[in-house]
Structure 1
Amino acid sequence: MIIYKTDFLSTFKRVDIIVNEIIESLKSIQELNSENTLFMIGFMLRELLNNAVEHGNKNDESKYVFCEIDYDYPYLSFKVEDEGKGVITLKREFDFEDILRERNRGMELILKYGFVVNVDGNKIHAIYELNNNKDRGVSND
């Protein structure tokens, strides 16, 4: 079931407004009452939406970013699309030495948090399983 759907012009200010709006609306879902879970979702959304603005639409404020969230317990599905040419596939392994890199740290953390991310050109689909009880916090083991 679609619980959120929007499109907006490519600005970081709009990303901030949209993410805050989404997080507020997700608080009404009982399974999302964890501050840690909401933080991880907010982090993931900011990363995907900011990447769409910066890398997909090249900061062109006349281009749109599209966002849709579906909820089918236990899964939350996040779809983000921009008007750019697309991105390369993400590396799936996470190395804590990589955290010192200039780029791609956010996407690596999204994977570490337990999101399944699929990239298809200019469309990114991230899936989060709510009933997975493993600790998704970042650790060094």
Structure 2
Amino acid sequence: MSEYERSRTMPALPEHVFDQAGDVGRLESWMPAQLHVRAQELPAVTIHEDATGRDEPALLRTDREQMRLEWGTREDGVYAGWLQVAGAGSGASEVTLHLSFFDERHDPGADTVHAALEGSLERLEEQVRLRIDGGG
């Protein structure tokens, strides 16, 4: 099993960050570009990966009270992940992204995963900034 984690401080209240991160219709605005989410009857979703051309049944759960998203493959248990938003004081938030690969054959490697986590956090921060600056 491999586990990866990255965190970033964002200049917005935790509720604003979580609202942006947890909006199923906006997941693709911050997720890696090669992944696409189609919501079914939540928590069921389908993840399409451009690199393989495959659709993977998955689960996505949001817990606004805990400001946490959790996801993972539904049938084969290959991977799981979570996003946690916490207050960091002075109107800022700390966002942590975590991925676990339960089958080493599906782990793309530390460099690839760390780059994907960093990129996702950067895009999420940009989306949060746009929402806050744009007032919507």
Name the one with the larger strand percent. Answer: 2
- Structure 1 and Structure 2 fold alike (TM over 0.5): no
TM-score by length of 1: 0.29
Name the one with the larger helix percent. Answer: 1
User: Relative contact order, CA 8 A, sep 6+: which one is greater?
Assistant: 2
